Amino acid sequence: MSARDLAGDAGAFPSTWRRPPQLVKNATLRWALIVGAVVYLVIAIGTVEVNWARIAEGMERGGRFVGGFLQPDFTSRWRDIAQGLTESLTMTLTATVVGVILSVPIGVGAARNVAPKAVYYLCRAIIAASRALQEIIVAILLVAMFGFGPFAGFLTLAFATIGFMAKLLAEDIEDIDEAQAEAVRATGASWPQLINYAIQPQVAPRLIGLSVYRLDINFRESAVIGIVGAGGIGATLNTAIDRYEYDSAGAVLLIIIVIVMAAEYVSGFVRKWVQ
Amino acid sequence: MLTIDRLTKTYPGGDKALSDVSFTVPKGQVVGLIGPSGAGKSTLIRCVNRLVQPTSGRVLLNDLDITALSKADLRRARRRIGMIFQEYALVERLTVMENVLSGRLGYVSFWRSFLRRYPGEDVRNAFRLLNRVGLTDHADKRADALSGGQRQRVGIARALAQEPELLLVDEPTASLDPKTSRQIMRLIVEICAESGLPAIINIHDVVLAQQFTQRIIGLQAGRVVFDGAPETLDEAALTRIYGAEDWKAMRKGAQDDADADRDQAERMAGLV
């Protein structure tokens, strides 16, 4: 007797099977949602106004831009570029270091499993405030407060780093292997000892990896916030474009691309190394 | 001596994990705590060092009422209770030595532990314990570089580094193969005998419990339904704890296991 015979009379079972709908069980509602979404999309595309004459003009400018890109001019504005670059790198590094140092206590405080309720809500509020405000908005406010220049840029990036790092650190702490923490707690360890022995070893590699990643983000952001007056390479780029010096702008963009790629490579290497 | 007096634990959802559990463990006695999954074994040993907060009842360790302690006093009391865990619960990215020394955390200041500058006596004792569990050469390895049996040995050394007056052991063999399980159980029992240390061992392997412990307590749905010498754990008692099942077959299976172990040992001996 074969296994097939043992399972019973084959004719008694259906030979087709379809996967039941997972999200919307009601067929009418499901089709109504699909048709509704398609109709809305068609109407929405129809309302976008396209000015073809303006696009043609833009293409021409774009062409000049590409031309500048292909013949980047590093020399004629080199002093401006070098100064912007130094400012950007300085504010990137200082803001990342200060931001990470401040984000560690806030991140620990924002982890539900190691912080008391009151501290938890306070730290979550700080993170929410930091994340709610986009870098450019913060930069505009800080430039208004402290004037043009890299100091406003440094404060902006440090503030943004806190929200980013503290949130990811807190989530990482909430995801730790609780058994390790329980074992350390069972030895009679105090709260700081628990953090140092059970939490830190589990989250440190990711914290270092994220810090290097944030360094890379901060450099890119420093180029953006320079445009609203927070100094750095962004300010140099903005000036070059305002003067229609697309060849110098091309040089600046190339430098940014090279530095970001280098940072990417280094951060990947560091993350693998600390595991 | 450990006294558990009318201990009850009701979880917030209304689940009654323990109801009215009372027993006493005298100095040097190794108790096997058996019972089906969800019977409250894990909750019971975690109530002893208050990793789980009991709802009512008392736990007394040599006249010290653990259930009545404040937070700071509880920390001091936990130093006296060593714990060994199911999945070893070592801090994976710390070295073996740091894991063993973490048993001293309750005794040293934060700065000493932070800088890893433990008193000479603690370090010497940690090396002695690593030697006792057979891991002298592995002190500087990271815990995640060890095998399951070796990790559990580190867990044992960490618990002993506390110089405990009581050992709580939670399913020490659940993630180990049969042979390593026996070695680990033998090690725990030997160490308890050496220093007259009482121990409660949660274990789901009835045969292992009978082989290595001096007394067996059976839990069923949070109540003690058996308490006696391993030899007196008969079919009727097992049915009381686990429900009806063919217990003779289990014993036969275990006997086969043990025979296979012995055969293996003899074959290995023949090779040498």
Q: Which of B27, B21, B22 is nearest to B1 (CA)?
A: B27
Task: Reply yes or no on whether the pLDDT at A8 is more than 70.
Answer: no
Distance of residue B182 Cα from the nearest chain A Cα, in angstroms = 23
pLDDT of res. A77? 84
Q: Which of B201, B121, B114 is nearest to B161 (CA)?
A: B121
Tokens of B201: 């061992």
The pLDDT > 90 percentage for chain B reads 60
Task: Reply yes or no on whether the pLDDT at A163 is more than 90.
Answer: yes
**Identity (one letter) of the amino acid at B34?**
I
Task: Name the pTM for this structure.
Answer: 0.81
The number of beta carbons lying within 10 Å of the beta carbon of residue A258 is: 10
Report yes or no on B264 lying in a domain.
no
Phi and psi of B67, rounded to 5°?
-70, -20
CATH architecture, range A76-274 = Orthogonal Bundle (1.10)
- Are A189 and B75 within 8 A, CB to CB? yes
Domain ranges, residue B159: 2-245
Q: What is the ipTM of this complex?
A: 0.84
The pLDDT > 90 percentage for chain A reads 49
Nearest chain B residue to A193 by CA: give it: B110
What does the pLDDT average to over A95-122? 95
List, for residues A117-129, the tens digit of each pLDDT value.
999 999 999 999 9
DSSP state of B138: G
What does the pLDDT average to over A90-105? 95
List, for residues B11-28, the tens digit of each pLDDT value.
888 888 898 999 999 988
Specify the length of chain B in residues: 272
Which range (A98-102, A135-139, B250-254) has the least confidence?
B250-254
Q: Residue B187 maps to which CATH number? A: 3.40.50.300
pLDDT of res. A2? 53
Tokens of A169: 């650190």
Tokens of A32: 């109504």
Task: Parse chain A into domains and list their residue ranges.
Answer: 76-274
- Confidence band for A57, pLDDT divided at 50, 70 and 90: confident
Largest CA distance in chain B: 59
B105 → closest Cβ in A177, A197, A202: A197
Report yes or no on B204 lying in a domain.
yes
What does the pLDDT average to over A141-157? 90
Report yes or no on B158 lying in a domain.
yes
Pairwise CA distance, residues B5 & B21, whole Å: 7
Structural domains in chain B (count): 1
Report yes or no on B270 lying in a domain.
no
Report yes or no on B252 lying in a domain.
no
Give which of B91, B97, B99 to mutate to test A binding, by max A Cβ within 10 Å. B91
Distance of residue A207 Cα from the nearest chain B Cα, in angstroms = 14
DSSP state of B148: H
List, for residues B214-238, the tens digit of each pLDDT value.
999 999 988 999 999 998 888 888 8
Pairwise CA distance, residues A61 & B231, whole Å: 93
Report yes or no on B254 lying in a domain.
no
List, for residues B53-102, the tens digit of each pLDDT value.
999 999 999 889 999 899 889 999 999 999 999 888 999 999 999 999 99
B106 → closest Cβ in A180, A189, A196: A189
Chain A residues in contact with B104 (beta carbon < 8 A):
187
Buried b (16+ CB within 10 A) or exposed e, A143-172: beeeeebbebbbbbbbbbbbbbbbbbbbeb
